[in-house]
Structure 1
Amino acid sequence: MPLVLNHVVSLRAAWLIALACLLTSANARAQQVDPSQAPRNFAPGVLTTVPPEILPGETASVHPLVELRSNQKLAWQPEYLATSQTLYEKAAHARFTRDIWCLEFSYKPLRLIWVDVPQANGRLEKKLLWYLVYSVRNTGEGLAPAAGEVNEEKAKPTEIGPVTFVPQFVLQGHDQENGRRQYRAYLDKYVPSAMEAIRRREVRGRKLLSPPQMAETPLPPAQDGDDAMWGVAIWEDVDPDLDFFSVYVQGLTNAYRWEDPDGGFQAGDPPGTGRKLVSKTLQLNFFRPGDRFLQHETEVRQGPAPGKAQLYGDGVTEGLVYRWTYR
């Protein structure tokens, strides 16, 4: 009996490996676009384009170096120099600088599709997937910090070379139950069996990159208006009762903020202990006035639901389709 069981397990493993190879091959064929097939042109209003936001103040920031300021042995009074010239005092207002870039982001309406998805048990399960087809474009524009003091007006334009977009899409619900917010969040997934169906439906005549392909393909500065890479974010097993939600996109810019809360770092702790770092993130707002029955993509609307803008976060106003935030 154990021999029979082992044989069955081996056959199942072989079947799963063969299925994975077929899906990988199918996904590869999806990228072999027929050169004779012209890329689909989109009607006005189909694409929503978010222009790059590059702010001078993002190129420099001032922070105390808590790793040095926590060492009281460095606090000393020199005899022939001003106290402000000591390492301890300079660490109170350390200046951090960086070049800033941001990609242009365009996206189509969020849609739904039924797809057979392989499961761990070797079976196929028909699932309703939520997805967002998008494109990213490197304009080649950036900002560099000005020398000397932190001054937003003195940041200077600079040219940006190839940029790698490492996509991270989080679909987060804002629904409330009994007066309390339900934080349901879904990280996008790579679903090979869905790639070709989505490509044919949305961007015929173009390549549609999976998240791994997008992350390994540097995006050079654009030469014309069509130098964009297309990709898709897919979510699986989304709660069908979800009504109010946002899609948060990270990786479009290298802008970030950080702070060291009081008491977060103690002398002797590893560097960076307690530090809070947040990345500049694009927030896309949606609502869906439907229920779990007869789910359909036509129910999905852009912007906060009327009268519910406060659910989408501080600063979100009525009709705000997208905004930049930090999280």
Structure 2
Amino acid sequence: MVSSMKSNLFIVAAGLLLALTVQPILSGQDSKLPAVRVESTLFAPGTVTIIPPQPTAEETFTGPIALRDFIDAHPEIAWKAPEFKDGRPYSDPRTRTLPEMARQVILRREVYSLEFAFKPLRQIYADVPQPDGRMKRKLIWYMVFRVRYLGGDLRAAEDSSSNTPYGRIEAVSYKSRRFLPLIVLSNHVTGKEYLDRILPAVKDVIATREKITAPLYNTVEISSQPIKLATDPSSPGVWGLATWEDVDPEIDFFSVYVSGLTNAFKREESKDNKVTLLKKTLQLNFYRPGDTMRQTDDEIRFGIPAFSNAKEQKEILDEYGLTKRLDYQWVYR
């Protein structure tokens, strides 16, 4: 009798606990509004590596630069100051003339930056459709990632009174931003690069394996999703997937380059006046201690391996183009 009562009490308590757990997920069930299932994906600490956004004031301007095309196309703006003006010696500085100002132009812009988080880079065998319509079993490399917009965009204030080239900087935030990714896996030994491939057939398989309960977007789909302003540390963000196929099975030292997290760029001008714009890109460094056999058993590790021998360590760092061990860095490319 006592055992039966305890069993019944346990069932009632479990039912109440389940009701309390489900209630916030199935909100609107008892109202006129349709039930809405709020999906989020949470993992244990350390499972997801988070790279914080790193905008800088220097990224809000370019210059001073010379508008060479403008100057060459309008020779009529060339002007020589007169010796006298209104009967008095002309004293206005030459820097106030239009040609001189066109040679000292500062271009200003607003800079945003997104937070990037990712799960360990892994491999999986999957059936991939081929151009002839057949399916082929292939080894797929993939990275599941999350992006969030934390606000804090930087721009030059209109009432700037600072003596620095970029003036006084202010932070602003918007309701959302967009993420237009370009994700490349680069083999540092051979120099070969692999552009992320869109493989719809493997997305659901990977989402199940990685326990992603929120919507998972490939790198094309995610560009149409607004990355809403995250107002607290538990904001879910938007989850994405990058996949690569036909990766060299002997690859050991490589990096994943993620562009689109920020609109910051660097302008470079060569001696022959050729201008190149380089986008600010996140470089994630990895290494794979393994071989071509049973590749899915090889653990891909984040960071750069450490060697006690200084010569060996330098050789590895040279492969990544670094002078010291870094898990990640922001580069322009």
Normalised by the length of structure 2, the TM-score is 0.77
Q: For 2:272, which of 250, 263, 275 is the aligned residue? A: 263
Q: Find the residue that maps to 2:217 and give its secondary structure.
A: coil
Q: Find the residue that maps to 1:204 and give its secondary structure.
A: coil
Work out the CA distance in 2 between the residues paired with 1:106 and 1:285: 14
Task: Give the drift of 1:40.
Answer: 4.5
Contact residue 288 and residue 301 of structure 1 kept, 8 A: yes
Q: Find the residue that maps to 1:223 and give its secondary structure.
A: coil
Q: Percent of aligned pairs with the same residue?
A: 37
Residue in 2 that maps onto 1:77: 80
Task: Give the drift of 1:299.
Answer: 2.7
Work out the CA distance in 2 between the residues paired with 1:137 and 1:118: 32
Residue in 2 that maps onto 1:68: 70
Contact residue 68 and residue 88 of structure 1 kept, 8 A: no
Work out the CA distance in 1 between the residues paired with 2:201 and 2:127: 7
Residue in 1 that maps onto 2:171: 157
Residue in 2 that maps onto 1:268: none
Distance 1:203 1:96, change over 3 A: farther
Distance 1:202 1:70, change over 3 A: same
1:94 aligns with 2:96: no
Residue in 2 that maps onto 1:199: 207
Poorly superposed stretches of 4+, deviation over 6 Å: 34-38
Contact residue 257 and residue 277 of structure 1 kept, 8 A: yes
Task: Give the drift of 1:259.
Answer: 2.4
Work out the CA distance in 2 between the residues paired with 1:133 and 1:78: 64
Work out the CA distance in 1 between the residues paired with 2:131 and 2:320: 35
Amino acid at match of 1:231: G
Task: Give the drift of 1:39.
Answer: 4.2
Q: For 1:222, which of 208, 230, 233 is the aligned residue? A: 230
Query: What 5-or-longer segments of structure 2 have no aligned partner?
Result: 1-34, 83-89, 307-312
Distance 1:35 1:119, change over 3 A: farther
Q: Find the residue that maps to 2:142 and give its secondary structure.
A: strand
Work out the CA distance in 2 between the residues paired with 1:309 and 1:196: 37
Amino acid at match of 1:236: E
Instruction: Give the number of equivalent residue pairs.
Output: 277
Contact residue 228 and residue 237 of structure 2 kept, 8 A: no
Question: Which is higher, the Rg of structure 1 or of structure 2?
Answer: 2
Residue in 2 that maps onto 1:303: 303
Work out the CA distance in 2 between the residues paired with 1:279 and 1:297: 35
Contact residue 191 and residue 234 of structure 1 kept, 8 A: yes
Distance 1:314 1:152, change over 3 A: farther
Q: Find the residue that maps to 1:289 and give its secondary structure.
A: coil
Normalised by the length of structure 1, the TM-score is 0.79
Contact residue 112 and residue 152 of structure 2 kept, 8 A: yes
Contact residue 219 and residue 241 of structure 2 kept, 8 A: yes
Aligned pairs for 1:153-302 within 5 A: 154-175=168-189, 182-224=190-232, 225-264=234-273, 274-296=274-296, 298-302=298-302
Work out the CA distance in 2 between the residues paired with 1:51 and 1:257: 20
Work out the CA distance in 1 between the residues paired with 2:179 and 2:53: 14
Query: What 5-or-longer segments of structure 1 have no aligned partner?
Result: 1-33, 176-181, 265-273
Amino acid at match of 1:97: R
Deviations 1:44-71 (A, max 9, x none): 2111101110101111121221213445
User: Mean alpha-carbon deviation: is it higher for 220-229 or for 189-198?
Assistant: 220-229
Residue in 1 that maps onto 2:51: 50
Deviations 1:175-204 (A, max 9, x none): 1xxxxxx21100001100000001111133
